[in-house]
Amino acid sequence: MALAKTLSAAEPGAHSAAAQPVIVANNLTIGYSLHRERKLLTALKNITLTVNKGEFVVLVGPSGCGKTTFINAIAGIVQPWEGTVEVNGQPVTGPGPDRAMVFQDYALMPWRTVESNIRMPFELKNLGLSKQEMDERVHRYLKLVDLNGFEKSFPYELSGGMKQRVGIARALVTEPDILLADEPFAAIDAMTREAMQSELERFVTQTRQTVVFITHSIDEAVMLGDRVVVISYRPGQIKEIVPVNLPRPRFDYDVKALPEYGELREHIWRLVKDEALQAARGGK
Amino acid sequence: MSVQSSSATPPAESGRYTDAQWSFAEFWRRWGSWFITIINLTCFFILWELFARSGAISPLFLPTASGMFETLYNGLTTTAPPGSVISGSILDHLGYSMMTLFTGLAIACVIGIPAGLLMGGNRAVETILSPYIWALASLPRIALVPLFILFMGFTVKMQITIIVLSAVFPIIINAWAGVKTTEKSLLSAARVFGAGKWDLYRKVVFPYTLPFIISGIQQGIGRGLIGVVIAEIFGGSRGLGYLIQRAADTFNSSLMYAVLMLLVIVSLSLINFTRWLEAYVAPWRRLDRV
């Protein structure tokens, strides 16, 4: 069913004129071995999903449904048990400069300044850029996320929203094709979160990046996604893929006032509700 | 300095932070505890002085506070004439003890830091070494002193060995714990951005562990100081421990108390220095704790 939905759903999104697959997950099954209990836990089962260039795909599902595992598999820090993930036609064997990630807890190095944190990907991976090009990029992205003036600050001196801006700049600085985001705004207060969502929409519209974004918030999913992938609880399977055909930039159009917005929200909530209840009860 | 500009637009920094008005309450909040400490200590020494002068306890056991300070002052401002075998000056013995202490600490760091990092980073090394580390760390080090005297005699080597053994375990255990508790999200962030194993150690694990290592050294200093004094009391002809022993043998109570006082001062300064160092290299941890 999931596969059929993927194929039948028209590929929406303002900037995906020619549908060109960037991420292809084929029958992906991933799990972990729990050493203490001598058991194998299947986190994700038979995930088949194609993400096209420039598309913004949001994954929603209850805690523990394997969303993070999926995104880690795309990033290349988790290896699948079965099936494959391909990025730009190449099977993923490890992390690469074509992918970058934004983390829920920011994951900024506390001993590095804002500038040095943003520069870190360059130190870890040689992209063949000159020192000038790297400096130029660091400052361009510092400016994009509105952090000029805070170059020399340390993360502990910043608010949550500012820390995540650093996280976003660090992810964008290598200009990856794919931006992976693991609940990036979950720990940020509601007002700042809304501002950050609209800015993220602005950034990726500018950079034309492909985004895979995890969230627990249905509103966030509908506001940001071109498609919303609903994942079921343990083992995570695709329950339904919901296309979101709302005009962009959504924060300017005030799409929340549109009747379609309410319908989509309602529809996704009905899909997620049972799963969330199950997760809240702690599984079967 | 132009009047117009400052009146039209206030300087940027004056918007957010303004100087608090001077008030006694504010002054007291900031300096009150210092003030109380000074009064407190002064009262303590005055009471001591009065008690000692009253003659309730023989001056062989309790000197006057003034006598102790006088001995301390004289001992620290004089050095032995060149060529003398045993110096009566506290300064010479202090220098000797500090030299052995720092030599021992340096050796403990050179052994302890890599050992702790390796144990944290490699399961095989951890499994093999941990029973020995825990066994030796839980053994009271004094129990080993007779053994080392047997091995090495009353030498500097023996003293340094005891200091190293006293200080090395807290350093190993802290470095080990630092590596083990390195935040997983920092590691996965570095991996996503392309860090290899060596980069992970160099750019994530080590900086994360550094404050742990410093607090290990801080504990090591405390233990090492005990080690120095014990080693010198047991067997030695120089150092603060020896001076305590000698002061006791000659019923020179003011010298004994002067050395004890000096040990308190030395220990507190070293520990405060490492505390400052820890806060300096890892300001984010200082904020976490508040």
Interface predicted TM-score of the whole assembly (ipTM), two decimals: 0.81
Same domain, B183 and B85: yes
Q: Would you state the pLDDT for residue B39?
A: 95
Closest CA relative to residue A221, chosen from A185, A175, A257: A185
Domains: count for chain B: 2
Residues in A touching B288 (Cβ below 8 Å): 156
Q: Would you state the pLDDT for residue B150?
A: 87
B146: phi > 0 → left, psi -120 to 50 → alpha, else beta; which?
A: alpha
Same domain, B43 and B79: no
Residues in B touching A107 (Cβ below 8 Å): 183, 185-186, 188-189
Specify if B28 maps to a domain: yes
With residue A220 as reference, give the H or E element that holds it. helix A218-224
In angstroms, the CA A113 to CA A132 distance is 19
Inter-chain CB proximity B283 and A156 less than 8 Å: yes
Question: B287 to chain A: nearest residue by CA?
Answer: A156
Same domain, B45 and B82: no
The CATH number given to whatever domain includes residue B201 is 1.10.3720.10
Same domain, B228 and B282: yes
Q: Would you state the pLDDT for residue A269?
A: 87
Q: Would you state the pLDDT for residue B1?
A: 39
Same domain, B96 and B240: yes
Given a contact cutoff of 8 angstroms between Cβ atoms, the answer to whether A240 and A2 are in contact is yes
Same domain, B126 and B181: yes
Specify if B261 maps to a domain: yes
Q: How far does B227 lie from chain A, in Å, by closest CA?
A: 34
Inter-chain CB proximity A99 and B185 less than 8 Å: no
Same domain, B103 and B49: no
Question: B286 to chain A: nearest residue by CA?
Answer: A156
Specify if B252 maps to a domain: yes
CA A237, chain centre distance (Å):
18
Inter-chain CB proximity B282 and A111 less than 8 Å: yes
Give residues with Cβ within 8 angstroms of A129, minimum separation 6: A122, A137
Domain with B207 in it:
75-289
Residues in A touching B282 (Cβ below 8 Å): 110-111
Angle at A133 between CA A129 and CA A139, to 5 degrees: 130
In angstroms, the CA B272 to CA B146 distance is 32
Question: A109 to chain B: nearest residue by CA?
Answer: B186
Same domain, B125 and B183: yes
CA A243, chain centre distance (Å):
17
Q: Which residues of chain B have pLDDT under 50?
A: 1-14, 289-290
Q: Would you state the pLDDT for residue B209?
A: 92
Residue B66, token pair as written in the block:
């003034």
Q: Which of B192, B199, B208, B286 to mutate to test the interface with A (most CBs of A within 10 A)?
A: B192
Q: Which of B193, B205, B214 to mutate to test the interface with A (most CBs of A within 10 A)?
A: B193
The string over A97-123, giving b where at least 16 C-beta atoms fall within 10 Å of a residue's C-beta and e elsewhere, is: bbbbbbbbbbbbbbbbbbbbbbbbbbb
Inter-chain CB proximity A95 and B194 less than 8 Å: yes
pLDDT in tens, B231-284: 888 877 788 888 888 888 888 888 889 999 999 999 999 988 988 888 888 877
CA B106, chain centre distance (Å):
13
Given a contact cutoff of 8 angstroms between Cβ atoms, the answer to whether A215 and A58 are in contact is yes
**Treating both helix axes as pointing N-terminal to C-terminal, what angle do B90-121 and B65-77 enclose, rounded to 10 degrees?**
80
> What is the DSSP track for B84-151?
-SS---HHHHHHHHHHHHHHHHHHHHHHHHHHHHHHHH-HHHHHHHHHHHHHHHHS-GGGGHHHHHHH
Same domain, B121 and B236: yes
- Residue pLDDT tens, chain A, 284 long: 343 333 333 444 444 455 788 888 888 888 877 767 677 777 788 888 888 888 899 998 887 778 888 888 898 888 888 888 888 888 888 888 888 899 988 999 999 999 999 999 888 887 888 888 888 888 888 888 888 888 888 888 888 888 888 998 898 888 888 999 998 888 888 888 888 888 888 888 877 889 999 998 888 888 888 899 988 877 788 888 888 888 778 877 788 888 888 888 888 888 888 777 777 776 54
Same domain, B46 and B89: no
Q: Is the dihedral of CA B51, B56, B62, B66 positive or negative?
A: positive
With residue A22 as reference, give the H or E element that holds it. strand A21-34
Specify if B13 maps to a domain: no
Angle at B62 between CA B61 and CA B64, to 5 degrees: 150
* Type of residue at A98: D
Question: B208 to chain A: nearest residue by CA?
Answer: A111
Given a contact cutoff of 8 angstroms between Cβ atoms, the answer to whether A171 and A122 are in contact is no
Q: How far does B217 lie from chain A, in Å, by closest CA?
A: 20
Residue B8, token pair as written in the block:
């039209």
Specify if B4 maps to a domain: no
Q: Is A71 helix (H, G, I), strand (E, B) or coil?
A: helix
Same domain, B48 and B101: no
Q: Would you state the pLDDT for residue B101?
A: 92
Burial (CB count within 10 angstroms: exposed 0-12, middle 13-18, buried 19+), residue A246: middle
Given a contact cutoff of 8 angstroms between Cβ atoms, the answer to whether A221 and A60 are in contact is yes
User: Distance of CA B154 to CAs B45, B72, B150, B165, Å?
Assistant: 37, 27, 9, 17
DSSP annotation of A236 reads B
Inter-chain CB proximity B193 and A100 less than 8 Å: yes
How many CA atoms, within 13 angstroms, populate the side-chain half-sphere of residue A254?
Answer: 1
Specify if B63 maps to a domain: no
Question: A73 to chain B: nearest residue by CA?
Answer: B192
Specify if B10 maps to a domain: no
Question: A167 to chain B: nearest residue by CA?
Answer: B189
Residue A180, token pair as written in the block:
């992976």
Q: Would you state the pLDDT for residue A15?
A: 46
Same domain, B88 and B199: yes
Inter-chain CB proximity A72 and B188 less than 8 Å: yes
Q: In this complex, which of A105, A125, A154 lies closest to B193 when CB atoms are compared?
A: A125
Give residues with Cβ within 8 angstroms of A29, minimum separation 6: A42, A44, A45, A46, A47, A80, A81, A82, A83, A235
Kindly list the structural domains of chain A, giving each domain's residue range(s) and its CATH number in brackets, ordered by start: 2-98+178-280 (3.40.50.300), 110-175 (no CATH)
Residues of B contacting chain A (CB within 8 angstroms): 183, 185-186, 188-195, 199, 203-204, 207-208, 210, 281-284, 287-288
Q: Which of A93, A116, A123, A152 to mutate to test the interface with B (most CBs of B within 10 A)?
A: A123
Q: Would you state the pLDDT for residue B9?
A: 42
In angstroms, the CA B82 to CA B74 distance is 18
How many CA atoms, within 13 angstroms, populate the side-chain half-sphere of residue B161?
Answer: 16
Residues in A touching B192 (Cβ below 8 Å): 75-77, 95, 99-101, 180
Specify if B144 maps to a domain: yes
Given a contact cutoff of 8 angstroms between Cβ atoms, the answer to whether A128 and A175 are in contact is no
